Amino acid sequence: MRLCKNKGLLIVVGCLCLSSFVNAQTNSVRLSSPDNLIQVKFSIQTATTDSKGGQLVYEITYNGKQVLDKSDLGLYLQDQPDIGANLRIENSRPSKIDETYTVPAGKANPVHNDCNVLAIDLAEAQHPFRKLTVEARAYNDGIAFRYLIPDEPRTKDIRIVNEKTQFVIAEDATMYPLILSGYQSSWEDNYRTLSLTGLHSESLVGLPLLMQLPGKAWLAITEAHLEGYAGMYLQHSPPQNSSRVLEARLSPRVDIPGVSVTGQTPMQTPWRVVMIADSPGRLIESNIVENLNPPSVIADTSWIKPGKAAWDWWSGPYDEHVDFKVGKNTATAKHYIDFASQSGFEYFLLDGGWAAHGTGPNDSGADITQAQPNIDMPELLRYAKSKNVKIWLWAHWTDVNRQMDEAFPLYEKWGIAGVKIDFMNRDDQWMVDFYHRVAVNAAAHHLMIDFHGAYKPDGLRRTYPNVVTREGVLGLEYNKWSTRVTPEHNVMLAFTRMLAGPMDFTPGGFTNVNRDKFIPRNVHPMVMGTRAHQTALFIVFQSPFEMVSDFPEAYAGQKEFPFLKSVPTVWDETRVINAKVGDYITIARRHGKDWYVGTIAGSHAAQLDIPLEFLGSGEYMAETLSDAPDADISPTHTVIEQKKVNRSERLKAIMVPGGGQAIRISPAQ
C-alpha cells in the first residue's frame, strides 16, 4: 500500500466576511454556511460583567430560525479541572475548503466537499491557564465541530472522563431514537418515535439521532472521523436542568474505571455533527460524514471492487431441490459459487463455521488460517476462480485480533476478496483502534472489510475505502427468530441508520408474506411485505457489498430476479423524491447513464407521484416492477411493465401496505 497526498483541495485563509464574524466586545465569533442559511455562534458566557473568562457555548440558526439554543462545550478530565468553564477567545482563523474527490463506492461520485471553516483559539483566564482550540465547519447541510488540545507540558497526559458537549434543542422536537441497553451493543434495535421531553433521562441513545422541529428544520446528530477516541452517545438531561438538553456520553474504557479516553497531547476529538435541512430527504442525500474524514491513504484503489454476493447463512440448511447434504461443506459452497457465477455476482460469502478448531461461541477461538475438514479450501479457491467468483470469509473479531498478522497475508495469497468481521459489539477507545488496525492491515494485503456486530459508520471509508460496509443495524437476519423486521422498520432505517453510511442489511428474501402469515423460522425464512418491496430495498438501502440473502432455488424462475441482478451497488448520484418518516421513501440513484428508483411503503398503502425531472434530455425506457393489484392478498405477485418516458413525465407508485416499486430507467436506443 502506498500513501497518497490529497488532490484538488483548496484552502483559503483570510477574512471571510460572509462566512465568519468576530466580536471582540462580546467575546463571540460566528460562522456561516456557503449559502448563508446555517449560522453557528460561539461565545463566552460569564457569570459577572467583570469576569475575565467563562463557559464556552455555541448556538445554531437555520434560515433565520433558532434550532439549537446556547449549549455548553468542553471536556471533563480525570484529576484536573474541566476545560470549558474558564475560557476566553484569543483568536479566530477563518478558512475555506472547496474540493472534489472520487471514491470507489458511495452514494455520489465524484463528491463535492464545500464548507467554511473557523478555528477558535481559546485560553483559560485563570489557573491552570491551559489552551484549547475548537475547529468548526459550516456546510450547506450542517455544522460540525471538534476539540483540539495543543501540545503543552501542563496537559501532556490526558484522561477524558466525558465531554461537556450539549445539544440544547430550541423546542420540544419529534425524535426517532435508537435506545440501547448499554455501551456494549451490536446496535441492532428498532428505532422509536417520541418527543424530546418524553425521552427518559436514563435512556442511552445511539447515533445518528433524527428529529424534527416543526416549522423550522430537520436535524440529525452524529459524529465523524472517530479515531483514537471513544464513541459518543446522547442522554436527556434530567428535567430539573432543562427538558430540551441532550448531553454527550462517551463509551467507557473496559480496562480503566472511570475513564473514556487516554492519550497525550496534541489530541483531537471526533467531529460532532449536526445535520440540518428543510426535509429529511435532504439529509439522506448528504455526504457530510464522509467529507469530515481525511482523504484516502490508499493510492491505488483499483482492487476495491464492490458488488453482490451469494451467501450461505441466512436461508439455513435448506435441502429441497438439491442432491447433496446442505451444510458447511465443499458441496454447498460450490452450489453457491455456481449460483453467483450464473447470476453475474462477483462474490460468495462463506460464513461462520468454515475455520478449523473452533472452541468458543460463534467460532471464537478458531484457527482462521485453516479450514475445517469438511471444507476443501484449495479446491474451493480453484473452483471459484474457474467460475470468475471471488470468496469472502467470515471471522470472529477475537480471532482476527489474535491472528491478523498471519491470516491477512495468507488470504491475499489465497486470492480472498474480503473479510466479514463480527461480534465486536463495542465502541470504546480500544475497540475503535482495533477497527483502524484492521483497516490498515487489510489495505496492505488488498482485502476489503465488512464490519458486523459493529457501531455506526463514521466516514472511515473515505480514508480507508477498503472498509466498504458495516452492519450496526437490525437487519433481515432477525426474521429467523423474531417479528421485528417490519416494512415500517425498513422505511425508518432509510431516515435514521442510513444517514451515517452504508449498512449491510442483507435484503433479498423471496418468501414474501403478510404480517398475519409471518412465522419466524431458521430454515427458509419468511419476510414481511411484498416481493416488490424486497426488490426495491436493493435501491433504497446503500451498501457497496450487498448480500443476496436467500437460497439459490428461491430465485429460480422468479420473474423479479433479473431486475434484482441488474441493480448496481455503487452510485454516481442520489436524489430523494418522496419522503415521510416511517410511512414511505422514494430514492432515485444514478449509475452511469442509468437511473434506478426504489420506493417502499410501511404499514399503510400509498400512491405517490415520481416526477422524472432528474433525467437528462431525450427519451428513456423505463422498466417498472410494481405490486400487483392483489399483492395485499398475495405478496409475491408483481407486475412488470415497460414504457418510454422523458424528464417532463411522472410515474406512479401504487403500493399496498408493506409494498414497493422498483424502476430501471435507461436511455432509449
- Return phi, psi of residue 163, to 5°: -100, 150
Residue 445 confidence (pLDDT): 98
Residue 626 confidence (pLDDT): 98
Does 407 share its domain with 483? no
DSSP state of 108: S
Is 4 inside any structural domain?
no
Give Cα separations from 396 to 19, 245, 451 (angstroms): 48, 38, 10
What the block records as the C-alpha cell of 402 is: 489474535
> If you compute the radius of gyration of the chain from its CA atoms, what whole number of angstroms results?
25
Residue 9 confidence (pLDDT): 38
CATH label of the domain that carries residue 359: 3.20.20.70
DSSP string, 138-173: EETTEEEEEEEE---GGGSEEEEEEE--EEEESS--
pLDDT class of 51 with cuts at 50, 70, 90: low
Residue that is written with C-alpha cell 484449495 in the block:
378
**Closest Cα to residue 634, out of 511, 521, 460?**
511
pLDDT class of 59 with cuts at 50, 70, 90: very high
pLDDT class of 263 with cuts at 50, 70, 90: very high
Query: Which tens digit of pLDDT belongs to each residue from 91-102?
Result: 999 999 999 999
Catalytic residue among 59, 477, 504, 560: 477
**Closest Cα to residue 559, out of 635, 471, 460, 625?**
625
| Whether the Cβ atoms of residue 424 and residue 454 lie closer than 8 Å to each other | yes
Instruction: Domain of residue 412: give its range.
Output: 305-472
Q: Tell me the average pLDDT across 42-46.
A: 94
Does 171 share its domain with 143? yes
Residue 2 confidence (pLDDT): 36
Is 367 catalytic? The answer is no
Domain end residue (candidates: 231, 260, 291): 291
Catalytic residue among 422, 488, 546, 560: 422
Does 376 share its domain with 238? no
3-state secondary structure of 461: helix
Q: Which helix (H) or strand (E) holds 418?
A: strand 418-422
Domain end residue (candidates: 257, 291, 325): 291
What the block records as the C-alpha cell of 91 is: 483568536
3-state secondary structure of 463: helix
CA–CA gap between residue 581 and residue 317 (Å, rounded): 37
| Whether the Cβ atoms of residue 597 and residue 663 lie closer than 8 Å to each other | yes
Is 335 inside any structural domain?
yes
With 90 as the cut, is the pLDDT of residue 379 above it?
yes
Is 300 inside any structural domain?
no
Q: In a 10 Å sphere around its CB, with 0-12 CB exposed, 13-18 middle and 19+ buried, how is residue 321 labelled?
A: exposed
Lowest mean pLDDT, pick from 41-55, 156-170, 497-511: 41-55
With 70 as the cut, is the pLDDT of residue 48 above it?
no
**Closest Cα to residue 256, out of 429, 101, 140?**
429
Does 467 share its domain with 496? no
Query: Which tens digit of pLDDT belongs to each residue from 175-194?
Result: 999 999 999 999 999 999 99
With 90 as the cut, is the pLDDT of residue 501 above it?
yes
Domain tally for the chain? 3
Residue 50 confidence (pLDDT): 60
Does 465 share its domain with 478? no
Is 152 catalytic? The answer is no
CA–CA gap between residue 133 and residue 146 (Å, rounded): 8
Residue 47 confidence (pLDDT): 67
Query: Which tens digit of pLDDT belongs to each residue from 311-362?
Result: 999 998 877 778 888 899 999 999 999 999 999 999 999 999 999 986 555 5
| Whether the Cβ atoms of residue 223 and residue 272 lie closer than 8 Å to each other | yes
pLDDT class of 308 with cuts at 50, 70, 90: very high
Provide the total of helices (H) and of strands (E) in the chain, helices listed first: 11, 41
Lowest mean pLDDT, pick from 41-50, 461-470, 603-612: 41-50
Is 109 inside any structural domain?
yes
Domain end residue (candidates: 291, 316, 342): 291
Q: Please tell me whether the peptide bond between 128 and the residue prior to it is cis, using omega within 30 degrees of 0.
A: yes
Q: Tell me the average pLDDT across 614-637.
A: 97
Residue that is written with C-alpha cell 460464513 in the block:
351
Is 551 inside any structural domain?
no
Residue 18 confidence (pLDDT): 40
- Return phi, psi of residue 543, to 5°: -155, 115
CB neighbour list of residue 119: distance below 8 Å, 6 or more residues apart: 92, 93, 95, 133, 134, 135, 136, 148
Residue 1 confidence (pLDDT): 41
Which residues does residue 112 pair with via DSSP β-bridges, in sequence order? 100
With 60 as the cut, is the pLDDT of residue 83 above it?
yes
| Average confidence score pLDDT of the chain | 93
